[in-house]
């Protein structure tokens, strides 16, 4: 995707014309998860992210009294530039919105967390087939029984994204994604979903159901939806996140976060 196509897409999202998921979109650009909480909880949440950097690799913190990233997209408005927002109140999801202009508070702090959609371009470039992209679906996501490291009021279990990968591409997919630690990096688990508390792959917790076919192995990457569990548990008066799979698309190219594995 070119820069001008990117700006067209963001404008379409800003005008609430595009409200779908972003997997397979803006190939080659960094995508991020979003968590918005009030200033008084921001310090604790940042520590929580740092302790759980595999699930919550923090790319940028914006605000309070600002909604414009300085690193990731200097012309963006985080109140409008995601396709869908999920609103949390006192530990419950109370709604989905296409922008959050009307409920914006100046004491909001926006946490932008790396997203595994970012490394999908690198996988596709190496001829590793991604079924959800091919089928124009959202990625499959699951709650696991693996606890995150708690910090203050923030605790909960890891959420993973799952991609069925042909058995002879599993190791390549592991090594390629390991080069993107800020986008969750290498998978956390490979195969055997029952060992992390996923008893039926057909019951997704978020996103779309993608069948694991014969000769395919389900690979699990840490997912930036994980903090949404922590926000539910923390019962904050108000919190906002992206809807799983409906990410913030940044101005940065994926290779900005490519790291050599030493």
Binding site for its own copies (CB under 8 A): 167-168, 170-171, 174-175, 178-179, 186-192, 195-196, 215, 217, 260-262
Least distance in angstroms from the C-beta of 252 to its own copies: 21
Strand locations in 115-182 (E): 140-147, 157-166
Distance CA 156, CA 148 (A): 6
CA angle, residues 14, 114, 187, in degrees to nearest 5: 135
Q: Which is nearer to its own copies, 69 or 187 (by Cβ)?
A: 187
Least distance in angstroms from the C-beta of 128 to its own copies: 15
Least distance in angstroms from the C-beta of 213 to its own copies: 12
Q: Which is nearer to its own copies, 88 or 142 (by Cβ)?
A: 142
DSSP code, position 136: T
Q: Which is nearer to its own copies, 119 or 189 (by Cβ)?
A: 189
Least distance in angstroms from the C-beta of 76 to its own copies: 32
Torsion of CA 222, 223, 227, 233, to 10 degrees: -80
CA quadruple 131, 137, 140, 141: dihedral sign: positive
Distance CA 33, CA 9 (A): 17
Q: Which residues make Cβ contacts (< 8 Å) with residue 72, sequence separation at least 6?
A: 30, 32, 59, 60, 112, 248, 250, 251, 252
Q: Which is nearer to its own copies, 132 or 179 (by Cβ)?
A: 179
Least distance in angstroms from the C-beta of 186 to its own copies: 5
Least distance in angstroms from the C-beta of 215 to its own copies: 6
Q: Which is nearer to its own copies, 199 or 261 (by Cβ)?
A: 261
CA quadruple 207, 171, 145, 147: dihedral sign: negative
Contact 87, 95 (CB under 8 A): yes
Torsion of CA 199, 51, 165, 193, to 10 degrees: -10
Q: Which is nearer to its own copies, 187 or 244 (by Cβ)?
A: 187
Q: Cα Rg for the chain, rounded, in angstroms?
A: 17
Least distance in angstroms from the C-beta of 93 to its own copies: 30
Q: Which is nearer to its own copies, 14 or 54 (by Cβ)?
A: 54
Burial degree of 150 (CB within 10 A; 0-12, 13-18, 19+)? middle
């Amino acid at each position: 995707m070119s820069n001008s196509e990117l700006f067209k897409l963001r404008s379409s999202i800003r005008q609430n014309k595009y409200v779908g998921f972003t997997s397979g979109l803006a190939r080659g650009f960094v995508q991020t998860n979003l968590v918005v909480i009030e200033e008084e909880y921001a310090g604790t949440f940042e520590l929580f992210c740092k302790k759980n950097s595999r699930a919550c690799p923090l790319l940028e913190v914006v605000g309070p009294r600002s909604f414009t990233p300085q690193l990731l997209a200097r012309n963006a408005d985080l109140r409008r530039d995601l396709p869908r927002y999920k609103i949390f109140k006192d530990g419950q999801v109370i709604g989905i919105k296409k922008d959050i202009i009307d409920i914006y508070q100046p004491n909001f702090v926006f946490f932008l967390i790396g997203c595994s959609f970012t490394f999908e371009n690198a996988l596709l470039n190496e001829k590793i087939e991604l079924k959800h992209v091919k089928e124009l679906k959202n990625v499959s996501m699951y709650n696991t029984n693996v606890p995150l490291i708690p910090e203050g009021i923030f605790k909960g279990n890891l959420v993973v994204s799952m991609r069925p990968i042909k058995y002879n591409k599993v190791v390549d997919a592991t090594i390629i994604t390991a080069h993107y630690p800020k986008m969750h990096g290498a998978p956390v688990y490979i195969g055997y979903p029952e060992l992390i508390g996923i008893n039926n792959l057909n019951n997704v917790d978020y996103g779309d159901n993608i069948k694991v076919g014969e000769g395919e192995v389900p690979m699990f990457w840490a997912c930036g939806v994980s903090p949404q569990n922590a926000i539910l548990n923390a019962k904050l008066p108000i919190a906002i996140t992206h809807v799983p799979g409906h990410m913030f698309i940044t101005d940065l190219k994926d290779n900005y976060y490519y790291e050599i594995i030493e």
